[in-house]
Amino acid sequence: MPQTTLFSLYESSKLSLNNRIVMAPMTRQFSPNGVPTSDVAGYYQRRALGGTGLIITEGTTVNDKVATMDANIPQFHGEEALAGWKKVVDAVHGAGGKIMPQLWHVGMARVADKAPFPELPSAGPSGLFKPGKQGAEPMTVAHIEAVIEAFAQAAADAQAMGMDGIEIHGAHGYLIDQFFWEGTNQRTDSWGGSMANRGRFAVEIIKAIRSATSENFPIVLRYSQWKQQDYTARLAHTPSELEAFLLPLSEAGVDVFHCSQRRYWEPEFEGSELNLAGWTKKITGKPTITVGSVGLNDDFFGAFQGQGSETRAVDDLLERLDAGEFDLVAVGRALLQDPNWANKIKEDRMDELQQYSGKALATLS
């Protein structure tokens, strides 16, 4: 591969990486009773050995009984699970990689009778999974405060075990995004209403994490316009709405924004080629991660139904990265399919790239 920013070192005051390739968080549900096993350590270690600069783990849940929707999703609390994660960190570091857990609360996406503690109702700002679909009473303020504290504790535990930062899952219609989105946040107190009020839950989480960890511990926030409940939903329709959304989050202490799109090449607003990560960097001045169909033709919505995708060239991605539109590039399915994806791109082994098979996730090592 000719000289490209993709394989240049990334250096910021809080984070240094061997290259710009980030493994996107992808849920797997291979952690019995929430405890990551040696299978999980091996899975991430293979991606680090394959040249991935930074691994963001699958979503791992904070300490709230209704944070998870499946007993096999790894949790990020409790002695056993944290000891399991410590082995994952050591395996990735041993392979020369860096790793951050994606801290997750699924909110109203949890179907109570299929989840641990089925007797407990799921949690959401207004108890809505989507507009018109009421599943529970609105969260109490005491519960909101307890969840903020749970995120802070998870971040402190992540730092103590040697993780290289944390990512807050604020995307795709899960709990934090249920606060962001007016479709699921119809509260009339200070946690709902205006854009600033809807952002307050995330702002308080960021501040609590900042005070529970040291100043140089990186905080990444992942967010998306689209929701699993409505692919066409948007938090911001214009650059100025996006600015109103982002600035309080940035000021609260986000170090890196991870901007989730289905296809990185799609412009976010009319009149500019910039994608969501491009706009986010321009507005906040903070580093950003782009994501969405890197190396693949079809987006990932069909992946859960076993849909595959052909490969796609990355030249347009490299041009945008070289131009400084964003700083880092997250790769999902291509890295699921092939742990050595990064090294193959670096060594120009394009003929060895595989299409995404869409096979059951269990069969991909």
Tokens of 6: 């993709």
Segment interacting with ligand FMN (CB under 6 A) among 111-119, 127-135, 141-149, 332-340: 332-340
Helices (H) and strands (E) in the chain, counts: 10, 12
* Cα 13 to Cα 311: distance, rounded to the nearest angstrom: 35
Which burial class, exposed, middle or buried, applies to 138 when counting CB atoms under 10 A from its CB (0-12, 13-18, 19+)? buried
CB nearer ligand FMN, residue 114 or residue 359: 359
Tokens of 258: 């991870």
From the CB of 23, what's the least distance to ligand FMN, in Å? 9
Q: What is the DSSP string of 288-308?
A: EEEESSTTBSS-GGGGGGT--
From the CB of 302, what's the least distance to ligand FMN, in Å? 9
Among 77, 227, 333, 344, binds ligand FMN (CB under 6 A): 333
* Cα 172 to Cα 317: distance, rounded to the nearest angstrom: 23
Beta strand ranges found along the chain (DSSP E)? 10-11, 16-17, 21-23, 54-61, 98-104, 128-130, 133-134, 166-169, 219-224, 256-260, 288-291, 328-331
Among 27, 122, 213, 229, binds ligand FMN (CB under 6 A): 27
Tell me if 103 sits within 8 A of 171, measured CB to CB.
Answer: no
Instruction: Write each residue from 107 to 146 as x if it is in contact with ligand FMN (CB under 6 A), else as -, in one continuous string.
Output: ----------------------------------------
Among 18, 45, 75, 102, binds ligand FMN (CB under 6 A): 102
Assess whether 174 carries a catalytic annotation. yes
Beta strand ranges found along 140-204 (DSSP E)? 166-169
CB nearer ligand FMN, residue 70 or residue 243: 70
Please count the residues of this chain forming the interface with ligand FMN, following the rule CB under 6 A.
Answer: 25
DSSP-assigned letter for residue 74: P
Segment interacting with ligand FMN (CB under 6 A) among 29-37, 74-82, 148-156, 294-302: 294-302
Is 169 an interacting residue with respect to ligand FMN (CB under 6 A)?
Answer: yes
CB nearer ligand FMN, residue 41 or residue 103: 103
Choice among 10, 43, 44, 174 that is catalytic: 174
Residue 142 parent element (H or E): helix 141-160
Is 24 an interacting residue with respect to ligand FMN (CB under 6 A)?
Answer: yes
Site for ligand FMN in 254-293 (CB under 6 A): 260, 291-293
- Which sequence positions are flagged as catalytic? 174
Contact residues toward ligand FMN (CB under 6 A) are: 24-27, 58-59, 102, 169, 171-172, 222, 260, 291-294, 296, 299-300, 303, 331-334, 361
